Structure 1
């Protein structure tokens, strides 16, 4: 496990800032209890889906260097897990290894994932997802597969009719599952080839614990290799965070609390760069859990870009990079059909919004923060469910000016 290395100068500054707080310099949060992860079926599943998400994000980052990219990994896990129920034992083993399920030793794997999905989609967390398998019309399917998936995950795979109505049908279903937040997941028709299509979507709009007092301020955001751009930002003084600096990764890491046990981690490189390969390579469920226990409490003058984004892609070309090259060559989906059946697409779309609202106000009785944290250059962030450790959302922002819903 990679440990976070805190810079001495940062620790000195941080200690000074803590001394200015209402506690009069007493340590606050050193005795905070943390949930021990990876000891229960649900937390082990949270770690597995997270590590699959980090692997998939690295593959996407490598294929689209120096651009904005985003993923809602747990919805992709859900779709591919549904698909695994249609495979032979060999195919299931290959899929489970890529999904990191081989580490779980959980005979009730599907029940555990179902419970995790229900937990992370509880109303207060701000996450809604959609995951479903669609099958080409000409496949002679086995009805047992439809029944098995529906009984386990509450969503029935669907056979396509073959025509323009299919795209509308998919988009309407995803919109319904996400409360109308994800529209037009498909921008073009699904492939006509004989096979199956995995559809997944994720919408996130969590609420902060501490609200931002100012929002929509147009400020400069530095772009690697280009002129600064003006983007709307949120700002608040004396904002409570957990914070640290990693000298190995040359970045400062901040954890912001959101409601219902969700938090956002922001990884801000020391220099203006869109090359975050080293940082991306460091991400694992264990590393992020280590961060949650070692970052130090502080109050900062925080400036954060307003994020409103929509991002979609076909993840199929990336599956070989997460260990599924052999499986893609022979998907062996014998529980779906006796016909040779391949995976045609893995369409994925995410939508995310941030807003200044929160349940608490930052302190106005103490002096302004001496520590500034301005997210005004390319950064990486992730949203995590603290109870399970599950990765809900991850993104790399190199230019927020071009983000839009």
Structure 2
């Protein structure tokens, strides 16, 4: 396990690298002690869904290295787990490996995931999700599958009618499940081929634990290889965060607390760059959990872009990049239909908003913070449920001006 040590001094943030720690271990002949970070079925499930999410995010990021990208892994995990219930033993084993469930050894896996989904969707966390399977009527469908999924996850797979009726019904259902926040998940009708389609959607608008005093002022955001753009920012002096530098990754990391045990991790590269491959490849559930325990408290002058975004994509082409090439060629969904049933789309849409509101004011001091954390260049961030460790949302922001709502 890689453990990063952070040292914080007022006015200066220093990072002690893993290489230094390893050198010391070699000199003494000792080995780094392994610490079990995930000890309950829920936290192990949170780690599995997170690692699936980081793998999927890397696949998405590598397809387009010059664009803003966003993903809510928890809702994709939910819908693909529903789909796994329709597969043969072999198909389920392949899906479970991609979903990182093969590490869990949890005989109550579906119950654990159902409980995790319920816990992260409690009202205070600001998260709402929708996840459902849609099936072509041209398949001879087995009703036992419909009942099984509905009993376990509270949502019944839906046979398609065909054409614009499906388009309206799916969009209306997603809108209803997300409180009217995720609109028009589909812009065109699903294929008429005898296949299986999944839809997943997430809306997130969490509130900060500490509110921002200033919001909406327009400031420069640096762009890699381009002129700065003017974007709305939030700013507050003496803002409480946890903070540190990772010199291996050449970035400063801040953990900002949100309400109801949710937090945002912001990874800010030292230089203006759109190349975040090294950082993206480092992200794992274990690494982020380690960060949450080693970042140190600080009061900073914090400046963040105001994020209002909507992002949608079909994730189907990415599944082969996360180890599902063989499964895609033969999905073997024998519990759904006796006929061969291909997966034809994996539609995913996310909507997110940040606002300056919080439930407490920053502490009153006689002078402003000596430390500054100014997010005014490309960055990567993630939203994490602290109780379970589950990754709720992850995004790469290269140009906030290009975000659409």
TM norm structure 2: 0.93
The SS at the match of 1:152 is helix
Cross-structure match for 2:84? 84
Decide whether the 8 Å contact of 2:331 with 2:341 is kept in 1. yes
Cα displacement string for residues 32-73 of structure 1 (whole angstroms, at most 9, x for unaligned residues) = xxxx84111001000000000000000000001121000010
Cα displacement string for residues 97-128 of structure 1 (whole angstroms, at most 9, x for unaligned residues) = 00000000001000000000000000000000
For residues 318 and 223 of structure 1, the distance between their equivalents in structure 2, rounded to whole angstroms, comes to 27
Alignment of 1:252-401 (within 5 A): 252-401=252-401
Cross-structure match for 1:153? 153
Shift in Å at residue 2 of structure 1?
Answer: 2.3
Shift in Å at residue 404 of structure 1?
Answer: 2.1
Shift in Å at residue 220 of structure 1?
Answer: 0.1
Decide whether the 8 Å contact of 1:182 with 1:201 is kept in 2. yes
Alignment pair present for 1:3 and 2:3: yes
Cross-structure match for 2:54? 54
In the alignment, structure 1 segments of 5+ residues that lack a partner are: 17-35
Shift in Å at residue 175 of structure 1?
Answer: 0.4
Cross-structure match for 2:234? 234
1:224–1:5 Cα change, 3 Å? farther
Shift in Å at residue 367 of structure 1?
Answer: 1.2
Decide whether the 8 Å contact of 2:10 with 2:371 is kept in 1. no
Shift in Å at residue 192 of structure 1?
Answer: 1.7
Q: Runs of 4+ in structure 1 displaced over 4 angstroms?
A: none
Cross-structure match for 2:26? none
Cross-structure match for 1:73? 73
Shift in Å at residue 316 of structure 1?
Answer: 0.2
Q: Would you say how many aligned residue pairs link Structure 1 and Structure 2? A: 384
For residues 376 and 296 of structure 2, the distance between their equivalents in structure 1, rounded to whole angstroms, comes to 22
In the alignment, structure 2 segments of 5+ residues that lack a partner are: 15-35
Cα displacement string for residues 79-113 of structure 1 (whole angstroms, at most 9, x for unaligned residues) = 00000000000000000000000000001000000
Cross-structure match for 1:179? 179
For residues 129 and 322 of structure 1, the distance between their equivalents in structure 2, rounded to whole angstroms, comes to 23
For residues 134 and 173 of structure 1, the distance between their equivalents in structure 2, rounded to whole angstroms, comes to 12
The SS at the match of 2:257 is strand
Decide whether the 8 Å contact of 1:37 with 1:389 is kept in 2. no
For residues 291 and 13 of structure 1, the distance between their equivalents in structure 2, rounded to whole angstroms, comes to 21
Decide whether the 8 Å contact of 2:13 with 2:244 is kept in 1. no
Alignment pair present for 1:105 and 2:105: yes
Cross-structure match for 1:140? 140
